Chain A
């Protein structure tokens, strides 16, 4: 099934204003109706938690109300409707999109993807032994750059039954497991993308079920660092990172949020095809990252006499 990845995540929140400001400061663009878009048109939607248009909340009260997948075409939508229609209700909304629950109780949407083709250079690197990636006389470091999230990358769920969740996404929707943390869960990739994962599930007690984090792809590691630094300087609370994961190789920087989950910037994820054999490891400090840094306030050493005391 040609599912490309998440097009949008819909949240029902308590403090709409806080959440909206958070997403703007994160770098998304407000386009109205509670929608906050990345450069390719993927988005986060923020609505008051009692908004009548929202699907019901999970029993845990998690604020994620709907995960909307973008698919390639109407044929894919029809195939999904046919497949899921065998054992559950599949609603067709006025806009032609589908709504159905997964086997864990998450509300899913499916629509012909809104993703726009974007044509932007990736971060470039010059290194001895390789042809320069940046033309001569082009400076990479720009203190005034305001890197923007490019595309909704992945969502991570806390789930009460990882095996059940994995079976649903792989057997019913054609996702593949790219790698696995034995004691947590699988990284899953739908057929319409080569990204290492658009969905990762973590086994938890039932009362934690919900969204653990979501993230958007940035243009490269420097953009993760620069956007993350900008976010810290705006007063937001770093949770984990910056660092680089091993499974997926994506650079990461996670923040706390008013959405009851973490929000990440990521960049430079591995891509895979069906030839790839999934790896497996116990999740730990050592297997989840090759290195981890921690933000500190800007500082610089210099020569000469010690600086004057304030």
Chain B
């Protein structure tokens, strides 16, 4: 649809906009080599002062989720920078009250939010191996 508005002189103006939807863009996080197998890294791409998402790598599986536990939305999950996994590296853990999540699906498999899922974020890797996340879903209502 072509937007219309009134100019300061009262004349009606019709103009074609070239809209850049910034929130729809991808943001560079790190290089794929920064992410060792069996580990997770937290990121704060919106400069909130606290990591709002994390990326986890398990073999060929690469996933990104919001740092936001479904048990109590708004709750960050790590206990220390990048400490998102159980000590054996087999699951994602929320260190609030011990919920465990499947790394590949984000599904909670034990704990107070059993059956609920982490909010996954879309990742992209470019030709040089840089990892990007889609920001669109990051600035939702759970503003941590």
Chain A residues with a Cβ under 8 A of chain B:
14-15, 18, 22, 61, 158, 204-205, 207-208, 212, 235-239, 255-258, 260-262, 294-297
Contact = CB atoms under 8 A, between A and B. Distances in A.
Contacts of A258: 79-80, 83, 95
B67 to A, nearest CB: 9
Interface stretch (B9-17, B44-52, B126-134): B44-52
A240 to B, nearest CB: 8
14 contacts: A18-B80, A22-B79, A158-B97, A205-B112, A208-B112, A235-B80, A237-B76, A237-B79, A238-B76, A239-B76, A239-B96, A256-B79, A261-B97, A296-B48
Contacts of B81: 235-237
Contacts of A257: 79, 95
A236 B80 contact: yes
- Interface pairs A-B: 7 shortest CB-CB: A296-B49, A235-B81, A256-B79, A256-B95, A297-B49, A237-B78, A258-B79
A260 B97 contact: yes
B75 to A, nearest CB: 7
Given A205-B112, A256-B79, A257-B79, A295 B97 contact: no
B49 A295 contact: yes
Contacts of B47: 297
B96 A256 contact: yes
B42 to A, nearest CB: 9
A207 B96 CA distance: 14
B38 interface: no
B77 A256 contact: yes
A237 B50 contact: yes
A183 B136 CA distance: 36
A236 B50 contact: no
Contact of B96 (A14, A204, A262): A262
Interface of B: 47-50, 75-81, 83, 87, 95-98, 112
A244 B42 CA distance: 28
A237 B47 CA distance: 15
Nearest to A261: B97
Contacts, number: 59
A262 B77 CA distance: 11
A256 B50 CA distance: 13
B87 A236 contact: no
A115 B81 CA distance: 34
A296 B75 CA distance: 16
A15 B48 CA distance: 30
A15 B88 CA distance: 11
* Residue of B78, B79, B81, B112 contacting most chain A CB atoms (<10 Å): B79
B44 to A, nearest CB: 9
B114 to A, nearest CB: 9
A60 B54 CA distance: 28
A237 B87 contact: no
A61 B77 CA distance: 19
Contacts of A158: 97
A116 to B, nearest CB: 30
Given A14-B87, A237-B50, A296-B49, A256 B112 contact: no
A285 to B, nearest CB: 10
A257 B31 CA distance: 29
Contacts of A205: 112
* Residue of A205, A239, A260 contacting most chain B CB atoms (<10 Å): A239
A237 B112 contact: no
Contacts of B87: 14-15
Nearest to A61: B98
A256 B78 contact: yes
A294 B76 contact: no
A204 B79 CA distance: 22
Contacts of A61: 98
B71 to A, nearest CB: 10
A301 B49 CA distance: 17
Contacts of B112: 204-205, 207-208
A116 B21 CA distance: 61
B78 to A, nearest CB: 5
